[in-house]
Amino acid sequence: MKAQAIRLLAVCMVSAFALSSCFNYSFTGIAIPADVRTVYIPFFADNSGSGLSSLAEDLNEALVNRFVNQSRLNLSSNAADADIVLDGTIVSYRNRPFSVSGERQTDLNRVEITVRSSFKYRQETDPEWERSFNGVFEFDPNEDPIDGERVAALEALQQISRNMFNDALGDW
């Protein structure tokens, strides 16, 4: 009985190992093909009219950190040498009251950012996808309106970069 259980365990372990080599799996939820090694992420044009001078730079930093630090991809300095290209435009930015108190004073403002982006493999002529990504975050304008808006914008950009990362690399 004991020998039979050991044999069954050995067969299960060999089967699991054999099957695992057939799949491309990662604990981060992404699995990148072996021939994809580099990504090019240019600065996205800021057509939002936000008035925040660093919005494009903040988005670029969020995307580079996400794609390079949470995958095995290396950053390419130009599109011609990259295996994948992520490009886009910041199309809208809104900072509006979200919650109003009984005294008709804003309790919360909501920052909403929309980015239009495309994701393309080097060997393909057409993008794999082109879509819009939205990020939202609320802040209390009564505490510190300038830093509150900046933090809310950064958090909204983090949401956008996370969603772009998942859409780009999560489908393999």
Q: What is the CATH number of the domain that holds 158?
A: 3.30.160.150
Cα–Cα distance for residue pair 36/123, rounded to 1 Å: 11
Residue 100: its pLDDT value, please?
A: 76
- Within-domain flag for 131: yes
Cα–Cα distance for residue pair 84/40, rounded to 1 Å: 6
How confident is the model over 9-28, as a mean pLDDT? 43
Confidence bin at 14 (pLDDT 50/70/90):
very low
Confidence bin at 126 (pLDDT 50/70/90):
very high
- Within-domain flag for 86: yes
Tokens of 68: 């390079």
- Within-domain flag for 2: no
Name the more confident of 40 and 26: 40
Q: Which of 126, 129, 93 is nearest to 109 (CA)?
A: 93
- In order of 16, 30, 40, 121, 127, the CA distances from 83 in angstroms are 32, 16, 8, 6, 13
Letter for the amino acid at 9? L
Tokens of 88: 């886009």
The per-residue pLDDT for range 152-164, each reduced to its tens digit, is 999 999 999 999 9
3-state secondary structure of 27: coil
Mean residue pLDDT of the chain comes to 85
- Within-domain flag for 68: yes
Neighbour-count burial for 122-148, b at 16+ CB within 10 Å, e otherwise = beeeeeeeeeebebbbbbebeeeeeeb
Residue 6: its pLDDT value, please?
A: 58
Domain ranges, residue 49: 35-169
CB-based burial label for 35 (10 Å; 0-12, 13-18, 19+):
exposed
- Within-domain flag for 54: yes
Confidence bin at 107 (pLDDT 50/70/90):
confident
- Within-domain flag for 97: yes
* Phi/psi at 25 (5° precision): -130, 150
Q: Cα Rg for the chain, rounded, in angstroms?
A: 22
- Within-domain flag for 19: no
Name the more confident of 12 and 88: 88
What percentage of the chain carries pLDDT values higher than 90? 65
Name the more confident of 61 and 98: 61
Give how many domains the chain has, as a whole number. Answer: 1
